[in-house]
Chain A
Amino acid sequence: MTADAFIFWFLSLVAVMSGLSVVMMANPIYSALSLAMTMVSLAALFATMGAYFIAGVQVIVYAGAVMVLFVIVLMLFDLREETKAFTRGQISGAIKLAMVGFLAGLVVFVLTQGVKLMAAPDVVDAAKLPEDSSKALGLILFNRHVFGFEALGVLLLVVAVGTVALARSKGGTHAKQ
């Protein structure tokens, strides 16, 4: 097995195992920590695919800030035990599992056997992706997608204001009594 293939299989194993832990663990804090592990392994996969800046941003934003926020909120809630972690009703749960499994099987079948996704064989065309991906990313982001970028800025401002407004609800630290 070549080194690249080994890295891919190892990272995908880690990602799938931690993804499974997110869903299956009863304690929600373990779910959150497993999700952080999934995100870090996905960032490593991005780095193997040459998207270095995106990998860095994934670790900084997702694993380093969003998941920390999730864990902080979970710890603030201080839930005693997760007595009923999964949905009630064995039959409906089993039906849901079967349906999702069937859908997953369909998708994987289509991906591997059915559709030819690229005209050329799906081997990486290394010459096409620019060497310095951060610079190319920046250029395209600010030239072609500048409207989306500015819209994102407005969205983040709205979200920040809205979140602070929500935090001032009854019982909050800054609420008017």
Chain B
Amino acid sequence: MPSSEIVNQIGLSHYLVLSAVLFMMGFLGVLLRRNVLVMMMCIELMLNAVNLAFIAFSKFSGRIDGQIMVFFVMTIAAAEAAVGLAIIVSIFKRFREVNIRFFEHLKG
């Protein structure tokens, strides 16, 4: 352990680094995975990472507006997930395929 203070004193940077790591993992997932549903899940992971950053800022600055922002982000993410899933289900019913490489070319 490099310094006892980094381990014991949890500050804003800790939460922001965690949020950045989760965000980058979601980003990586969207780039690397081929299944449309898993890509949507990685987008949800990115949104959750952003929520964490908002709450951390809210706590360390003493203002509650961060939590309001999280409220809005959560609602909109849920609505977007619902619409996205409906679209994916429609596409699956038509093409029986969830591999994104199949939809690369704008045809049909």
Number of A-B contacts (CB under 8 A): 235
Q: Is the CB of A77 within 8 A of B92?
A: yes
List A contacts of B52 (CB < 8 A). 42, 45-46
Q: With A117-B12, A123-B11, A129-B59 given, is the CB distance from A70 to B81 under 8 Å? A: yes
List A contacts of B59 (CB < 8 A). 49-51, 124, 129
List A15-43 residues whose CB lies under 8 Å from chain B.
Answer: 15-16, 19-20, 22-23, 28, 31-32, 35, 38-39, 42
| Chain A interface SS verdict (over half) | helix
Q: Is the CB of B71 within 8 A of A28?
A: no
Number of A residues, CB within 8 Å of B: 88
Q: Is the CB of B60 within 8 A of A125?
A: yes
Q: Is the CB of A88 within 8 A of B32?
A: no
Q: A54-B71, A73-B88 are in contact. List 17 more A-B contacts (CB 8 A).
A: A19-B22, A23-B25, A49-B59, A51-B70, A62-B48, A62-B78, A70-B81, A87-B34, A96-B28, A100-B27, A101-B24, A103-B27, A107-B20, A123-B9, A133-B64, A162-B83, A171-B94
